[in-house]
Amino acid sequence: MAVTDGRVPHGAREITTGQANRVWHIDGPAPYVLKHYGDPARAANEAAALTLLAQHRAPAPRLLGADTAAQPPWTAQSAVHAEPVPADQILHELATPLNVVHHIPGAHAGRLAGARHHRTWRHYLHHRLDTYSTAAPDLTHLAAALRHELDTVAVDIKPRLLHHDLQPGHLVRPHHGTLLLLDWELAAFGDPLSDLARLAVRLDLPHPTSILHLTHQPTAESTRRIHLYWRIHHLADAALSTDPAVRQRARRHLS
């Protein structure tokens, strides 16, 4: 298959599900998925993540082509004939692919591409808290409390690859082969517990520690870290989400 310019060919079937991007499935002898991004930084990040995942033979689509400087920026990825793992089964199926991903090391903290790299995971989290305070000044006091707690928790771990957008629909079961994780545009290097905390937020779990066992032994330290990340992810939703229902739910949890 030759992917050259990212244009949508005649007969492409749109399968867009998100708000910021448009996605098409292109049939043919070698079918593929074409993705147009509203944010070039997310395009660059997903292209970098898929390249890294391929190097480690991790459970993700293959990157077939990309132009993150185009208008709009785009990637072409291998077509995946698969069904989403149902939400009530995702916790039983996720551990194996997630452990593969979380063993991929990073040389910095934060997004892989398209954004500032950070020397440590703690520096990255401080930067995110500043972003949330700027976006939602009425939440500055909550960001300050989380910043203070962050400085008392042992979070200076060696960064590992995170999907950082785990939710129902992003884990799929191909008709042939192993489980795959889709949609890597928010991937980052950091603490794997942050991935679990974000999943707990997306599943609207009352306590993130209920899924700690997926990849970690429950200890006092891991319990404290996942609770901290859980609140940081809720703050992100409260400050930045474009969905009013998500913002309101996050604010309820924070209060």
The residue extents of the domains of the chain are 13-79, 83-254
Report which DSSP code applies to 114: S
CATH placement of domain 13-79: 3.30.200.20
Superfamily, domain 83-254: Aminoglycoside phosphotransferase (APH), C-terminal lobe (3.90.1200.10)
CA–CA separation, 180 and 71 (whole Å)? 29
pLDDT at 3 over 60: no
What's the confidence (pLDDT) of residue 113? 97
Buried-state track 69-89, b at ≥16 Cβ within 10 A, e below 16: eeebbbbbbbbbebeebeeee
pLDDT, tens only, 126-151: 999 999 999 999 999 999 999 999 99
Q: Please state whether the peptide bond connecting residue 72 to the residue before it is cis, i.e. omega within 30 degrees of 0.
A: yes
pLDDT, tens only, 46-80: 999 999 999 999 999 999 999 999 999 999 999 98
**Residues in the chain, total:** 255
Q: What is the pTM of this model?
A: 0.94
Query: Which residue is it, tokens 């692919």?
Result: 97
Distances (CA, A) of 139 to 96, 130, 208, 239: 37, 11, 22, 8
Percent of all residues in the chain with a pLDDT value above 70, rounded to a whole number: 98
Percent of all residues in the chain with a pLDDT value above 90, rounded to a whole number: 86
